[in-house]
Structure 1
């Protein structure tokens, strides 16, 4: 069964990017034993990717080849952005609920990965389309920035597992109750 998963890393105070939008704080963990192999295995189990424009632009700014050549990628944006032919990247203005079924089909039995961008993930969650959250927790405090998820999820997340890596890095895996997401201020 294809699941829609949000794999993301955050500081212990819940931010995925610092106040300037930088991920430099996270790159110090790239050499953490076993972490990149774990992420590579996650990506290998992914058949389709969704991201917002800011995440896409960040990926383009990194240079080099497209990092997800084996996954069809949807970029949710209202702007015209460059797309390199042959990357499997599609820009869309369509609502997430209209694109999700195409993503599941393109995944071909593998999973859908929501990459970065808590607002986009919140849109999927608001339509009951988010199944799991895989939250990497880095032992740093940013004091502000981009939150993991700027929308409230009502109901209790179910813990699926915890993985501890060297350097104090953790991964917490949660199942999201179906249809329980709400917008800002949802009670």
Structure 2
């Protein structure tokens, strides 16, 4: 069964990036040797990637491309209303609701997980469609006061696991659903 995961980092006050899409706050934090879900282990379980246009543009600008190829080897679905001018190998630009692409995403994932790279509004669209199973977040000891929100909406989550990695508090949550739509259950 395909699991849809949102694996990301946030500030203590819940922002993915500042109002200028900078990640300086993230890149300046020390990491450690221990993690409850090491990135390489996580990535090995990913069969397909989902990203929004702002995240896609940021990755292109900061991570670059090699010989015109996208930085990730997994098939990537770029959810956007503004298709990129240049086509990248392995990247398929799509427009519409996540549910419209469920079969294509799961086929591309080949039995592995789908990683929702970002941003927070896109992750919320997947959650509203019942297509976000887990949120794994590394919380940095910094506040921004404003910026791009971690998750664009109100959702109930269940803590599954927590730990630390250098300066980061790590937490893995199951997504229970939108606030107000989740049946009352024991914590």
TM-score, L = length of structure 1: 0.86
Look up the match of 1:44.
44
What SS does structure 1 have at the residue aligned with 2:21?
A: coil
Of the three residues 47, 70, 73, the one matched with 2:76 is 73
Look up the match of 1:104.
106
Gapped regions of structure 2 (runs ≥ 5):
181-187
Please state which structure has a larger fraction of its residues in strand: 2
Aligned length: 175
**CA separation in 2, counterparts of 1:60 and 1:112?**
20
TM-superposition CA deviations, 1:58-100 (whole Å, max 9, x none): 111122333211x110000111304445x31000113211112
TM-score, L = length of structure 2: 0.86
TM-superposition CA deviations, 1:31-66 (whole Å, max 9, x none): 522379911221111000001111111111122333
- Deviant stretches of 4+, over 4 Å: none
Look up the match of 1:60.
60
What SS does structure 2 have at the residue aligned with 1:59?
A: helix
TM-superposition CA deviations, 1:88-113 (whole Å, max 9, x none): 10001132111122111111111000
Q: Structure 1's 182 and 72: CA in aligned 2 closer, same or farther, altered over 3 A?
A: farther
Q: Structure 1's 105 and 118: CA in aligned 2 closer, same or farther, altered over 3 A?
A: same
What SS does structure 1 have at the residue aligned with 2:38?
A: helix
User: What does 1:166-181 align with in structure 2 at a 5 Å threshold?
Assistant: 166=166, 168-177=167-176, 180-181=177-178
TM-superposition CA deviations, 1:155-181 (whole Å, max 9, x none): 4x2111112112x2121000112xx22
What SS does structure 2 have at the residue aligned with 1:115?
A: strand
Q: Structure 1's 41 and 88: CA in aligned 2 closer, same or farther, altered over 3 A?
A: same
